[in-house]
Structure 1
Amino acid sequence: MLHRQPRNYMVGAAALTRGLPYCPSRRASQVIRPTASSHGRAEIAATGEGSDAATRLVISSSFTLAIQVQTSIRSINMLCLERLSPSLLSLKQLEHLDLSSNFLAKPSSRMSLFLGNMDNLRYLNLSGIPFTGTVPPQLGNLSKLQYLDLGKSYEMYSTDITWLTNLPVLQYLDMSGVNLSAVHDWPQNLNMIPSLRVIILSSCSLDSTNQSILYFNLTKLESLDLSWNIFNHKIGSSWFWKAKGLKYLNLHGSSLFGHLDNALENMTSLQFLDLSYNYNNNLAWTGNLTRNCSFEMVGNLKNLCSLEILDLTSNYISGDITVFMERFPQCTWEKLQGLHLGYNNFSGTLTNFIGNFINLRRLELNSNNLNGRIPPSLGNCTRLTIIDISGNKMAGPLPQQVQYLTSLSTLHVNSNNLSGSLPTGIGALAKLTYLDISNNHFSD
């Protein structure tokens, strides 16, 4: 069975990539220096030796950084720099600085220490720049900073992040890709910044979320991304369950396992929950699992009245699919938009209960052990754009009610035991661009 790529969900930042930007010319004069200001705009310019590169970087009076790079070949949205000039310090009034997705050539690829002296900054975005070496603790001098993005810095590391506690009004922090394997007290450090609303620490080589926090201060925290770390411990003991105001929680590929117990009962604001690809040790969600991870999650969904997206892809979860769905409280039925349960061991028959989720956009039940027929009530879910029930043991015909799914763009029902004729109304699905009914027993 072809294993499809996992979805990319983004909050506040683009999906992570490791590619380096294209540089139009290495001959260009690439040191950024401020030029004379005119009409309330401070202009920073660098011009190449030939016609192959001409670069102008503009900082407007509203302190929004705009980068325009024109070449004779194409227009691109990054700037190729040899180094950042300390002359930027002359912009004492600067509040907003965005240098993201630029290329700094070695050996000048370490983060410039002078950035820690731009103490009027509220916004600093250095994401996607291939810096190397340690994150300079001088960034802790930026006491007015509200937004700090150091994400996608895969060659940077830090052994001490206590400097973050000197940023008392910080609301957004992205250090994805920065190696923090030597920082074991990172939750305690972050807990000393109660203004934080968004924390993104994906792919940081973190090894635990088991730390004890006696007095929890992150009461404003709404979004937490700890995906692609290797925690390898029980999920129920994690500190983040104390963040009861969370709306977004991404634990994709973090090697968590065990019993959720009552961890979700207080997460009444949670809209997005991604526990996918925790298959290394099997996440105990419902039913009887291998490796002695058995658990019946009775009642734990009852207060998730804000839930819109649930992703449990590839966890080898077992149990009856209808029993699982019936645990969603009625307050969730009209809010749930994405249900991703592919690559598990769910069994049983998909019943008409699925028709209660009338605002579903995406339903993925592929690669399980489901049998029985596709319920006609699926036609109630008229906002569905993607259905994937491939790789099961479902039989019978496609229900005629499929014709009511006028928003449907993708339908995977391949590799089942479906039979009969295709519904005549399927030809009216004007938005359907991908249809796979292979490896079934359809008569036409």
Structure 2
Amino acid sequence: MRSHHCPNSSRFPLPFLGLALVLLISLAPPTSSCTEQEKSSLLQLLAGFSQDGGLGASWRNDTDFCTWEGITCSPNRTVSDVLLASRGLEGSISQFIGNLTGLLRINLSCNSLSGGLPLELVSSSSILVLDVSFNRLTGALSELPSLTPARPLQVVNISSNLFTGRFPSTTWEVMKSLVALNASNNSFTGQLPTTLCLSAPSFVVLELSFNEFSGNIPPGLGNCSMLKLLGAGYNNLSGTLPDEVFKVTSLEHLSLPNNWLEGALDGIIKLTNLVTLDLGGNKLSGNIPDSIGQLKSLEELHLEQNHISGELPSALSNCTHLTTISLKGNQFHGELTKVNFSNLPNLKKIDLLHNNFIGNIPESLYSCSNLTALRLSGNHLHGQLSEKIGNLKSLSFLSVANLSLTNITRTLQILGRSRSLTNLFIGSNFLHEAIPEDDSIDGFENLHVLSMSDCSLSGTIPGWLSKLTHLRMLFLQSNQLTGPIPEWTSSLNLLFYLDISNNSFIGEISTALMEMPMLKSDRTAPKVFFELPVYLFSPFIQYLKPGAFPKVLNLAINNFTGAIPEEIGQLRALVALNLSSNKLSGEIPQEICNLRNLQVLDLSVNHLTGIIPAALNNLNILSEFDITNNDLEGPIPTGGQLSTFPDSSFDGNPKLCGPVIANPCGSAVADPELTNSREQISTNAIFAIAFGAFFGVGVLYDQMVLTRYFG
């Protein structure tokens, strides 16, 4: 999802910011006389703002404009800088700002300005640095007339706006001094521009990511002989990387992720100055060439979500500055032991999710003492974790799900010593082992997320979990756990997401679940930080800080009996509640109507009786609702939220009536043969689909729906 929220830190890649700062410091102001026209131009700029962020108190006609907030004058009292970033400005940018004949730098970034970008700013004969990023500017950018004399612009940042249309081409022919151009996060169309490569011999930074550019990468980019950063990710580019790009040996940052690029990587090794290589999310094939070891400066390698195969070359060990290796979602095979990870002391993140690696986890990995995130899930690795993993003192994120690991007791004893561990995913391993219940499991004092799903583990919910006082999210679904829900559940003060579905739990639903503090409180769920991006359904929507995580209680597909507790009404913060596929009886409690934050409610496949409470109509944001296959009766309440759901939400209740299901009240009972029974459908899948439909663009996780997808 594209964000137009202005960040607190740099808005550009680091090289872009560095260049801009150098320019801001080094550019000398011109000499010209102060004129009343300049004051008038500033006042007209102010007049264009519908919200001026308090500038009006300073920008008064009876005061010296060189003392106005955000205004800097040269020694000759000529306006040289208009610096009004993050001032809460709304309205439009006045074209009269172009009348400031000595203006060198203008920064209106991180506001809420709308309308178009005045051509006078681009065609100015004095402006060197133009930054209008992170606004709401719209429309197309006009081309400058062909006879326009050379313009002095050096740094242009128009990123994170709402610009549309074909990106200008001839405009850049007159920008002889252009050094950096950032037009990312807009909706520009057409082909990548190349004219600036010939017209601006000192051009260094081109950032066009998150637009709608299409076509092949033009060979003309090879003429940018000084280019250090080329960013055009998240567009619709296709074809292969042209050989001409590999001739730009000055490139330090090549970032073209999430396009439709094809071909092999062989030419990459000519870019010996590369620091960042990001070609993830394309259709690249072939192997990583053995000569990759020649990229001595490489720090970040992102090749995830491609069709790359072969073994990891041992020469990767020669890239001793590597901090990040992301190769997930490819077709790599062979043993990881071919790479000597002990030669990579700077490694912080390794992501090999969903490949075909075999053998054991290499011992040399445990020499990477700076490692903060390790994801090996979804490979054919086997054996047991080594005690040497305790050497990774900074390890925060560990995902080793869906391997063939054994001995869950020993694994938890080893990992409990990792004091920095906050996210642990070990599901789809330890098949048919018993979950350890003794006090030999200790540590994990900083654990925020724990997933042990899809292991077919036997036993009961172990008491040592009660000591994980910082736990926020717990996933135990798809095991063979039994027994009742322990009373200490309510003591986990930060737990806001609990999934114990598809087990064999028995007894009545514990009222301890109704006392979970985070599910009762309207306080925002505590943040869960992921060292590696995790996502749901779409590889284009990634989050590290999932502020949109819902508060969820999923007890589906168990053997719970008795009535739904009336105390359920205390869980006012719940966003999703799934009690489906149990043996619950009695009526739907009226108190469930107190859950005004509820967006997903699934009570299907139980033995519920009685009427549907009319107050359910008041759950105004409920988007997914399923009460199929119960024994409910009477009229379906109309005139509210329940009327927005399809008749399939009520199937399998032949005693229900009403216009929603085309069974008028007072008529004969509907023929059960015409009712669509869904008892054979996995309720867990139903819930995942319903949940994903609403939260798919804002909720992400490493291993929530099931480990087999993301690990």
Task: Give the TM-score, by structure 1 length.
Answer: 0.71
Compare CA radii of gyration and give the structure with the larger one.
2
Secondary structure of the equivalent of 1:371? strand
Q: Which residue of 1 aligns with 2:264?
A: 110
Question: What amino acid is the match of 2:399?
Answer: N
Whether 2:300 is the aligned partner of 1:141: answer no
Secondary structure of the equivalent of 1:56? coil
Q: Aligned equivalents of 2:205 and 2:408: distance in 1?
A: 50
Q: Aligned equivalents of 1:397 and 1:237: distance in 2?
A: 52
Whether 2:564 is the aligned partner of 1:405: answer no
User: 5+ residue gaps in structure 2?
Assistant: 1-172, 183-188, 198-202, 216-233, 438-454, 520-550, 635-711
**C-alpha displacement of 1:238:** 7.8
Q: Aligned equivalents of 1:417 and 1:237: distance in 2?
A: 48
**C-alpha displacement of 1:436:** 0.4
Cα distance change, pair 341–283 in 1 and its aligned pair in 2 (3 A)? farther
Q: How many percent of aligned residue pairs carry the same amino acid? A: 24
Q: Which residue of 2 aligns with 1:357?
A: 516
Cα distance change, pair 348–142 in 1 and its aligned pair in 2 (3 A)? farther
Q: Is 370-379 or 168-177 further displaced after alignment? A: 370-379
Whether 2:173 is the aligned partner of 1:39: answer no
Task: Find the partner of 2:494 among 320, 332, 335.
Answer: 335
Q: Which residue of 2 aligns with 1:15?
A: none
Q: Which residue of 1 aligns with 2:284?
A: 131
Q: Aligned equivalents of 1:425 and 1:241: distance in 2?
A: 54
Whether 2:559 is the aligned partner of 1:369: answer yes
Q: Deviations over 1:275-329 (max 9, x none)?
A: 44458x3354368xxx997667745435534432333332x33222413x73x69
Q: Which residue of 1 aligns with 2:340?
A: 189
Whether 2:311 is the aligned partner of 1:152: answer no
**C-alpha displacement of 1:409:** 0.8
Q: Aligned equivalents of 1:251 and 1:369: distance in 2?
A: 30
**C-alpha displacement of 1:414:** 0.5
Q: Aligned equivalents of 2:212 and 2:264: distance in 1?
A: 24
Whether 2:377 is the aligned partner of 1:227: answer yes
Whether 2:463 is the aligned partner of 1:319: answer no
- 1:173-322 aligned at under 5 Å gives the runs 173-185=325-337, 189-209=340-360, 211-212=362-363, 216-233=366-383, 240=389, 243=392, 245-261=394-410, 262-278=413-429, 281-282=431-432, 284-285=434-435, 298=462, 300-301=464-465, 304-314=468-478, 316-322=479-485
Q: Aligned equivalents of 2:507 and 2:467: distance in 1?
A: 25
Q: Are the equivalent residues in 1 in contact too, given 2:555–2:578 (CA < 8 A)? A: yes
**C-alpha displacement of 1:410:** 0.6
Q: Deviations over 1:202-226 (max 9, x none)?
A: 112133555546x944444333322
Q: Deviations over 1:89-136 (max 9, x none)?
A: 3351x332112233345xxx11133x2343433321111222222212
Task: Find the partner of 2:240 among 82, 87, 100.
Answer: 82
Q: Aligned equivalents of 1:269 and 1:230: distance in 2?
A: 27
Whether 2:256 is the aligned partner of 1:99: answer yes
Q: Are the equivalent residues in 1 in contact too, given 2:335–2:358 (CA < 8 A)? A: no
Cα distance change, pair 375–152 in 1 and its aligned pair in 2 (3 A)? same
Q: Deviations over 1:253-282 (max 9, x none)?
A: 334454234245335544444444458x33
**C-alpha displacement of 1:434:** 0.8
Q: Aligned equivalents of 2:264 and 2:259: distance in 1?
A: 13
Whether 2:328 is the aligned partner of 1:172: answer no
Q: Which residue of 2 aligns with 1:24?
A: none
Question: What amino acid is the match of 1:165?
Answer: S
Secondary structure of the equivalent of 1:80? strand
Secondary structure of the equivalent of 2:597? coil
**C-alpha displacement of 1:337:** 2.9
Q: Aligned equivalents of 1:192 and 1:297: distance in 2?
A: 42
Question: What amino acid is the match of 1:260?
Answer: T
**C-alpha displacement of 1:170:** 2.8
Cα distance change, pair 368–329 in 1 and its aligned pair in 2 (3 A)? closer
User: 5+ residue gaps in structure 1?
Assistant: 1-34, 44-52
Question: What amino acid is the match of 1:195?
Answer: N
Q: Are the equivalent residues in 1 in contact too, given 2:459–2:480 (CA < 8 A)? A: no
Secondary structure of the equivalent of 1:228? coil
Q: Aligned equivalents of 1:257 and 1:329: distance in 2?
A: 31
Q: Are the equivalent residues in 1 in contact too, given 2:490–2:512 (CA < 8 A)? A: no
Q: Aligned equivalents of 1:196 and 1:181: distance in 2?
A: 21
Question: What amino acid is the match of 2:483?
Answer: D
Q: Aligned equivalents of 2:575 and 2:319: distance in 1?
A: 43
Q: Are the equivalent residues in 2 in contact too, given 1:65–1:97 (CA < 8 A)? A: no
Q: Which residue of 2 aligns with 1:383?
A: 573
State the Cα RMSD in Å.
3.7
Secondary structure of the equivalent of 2:416? coil
Q: Are the equivalent residues in 2 in contact too, given 1:264–1:301 (CA < 8 A)? A: no
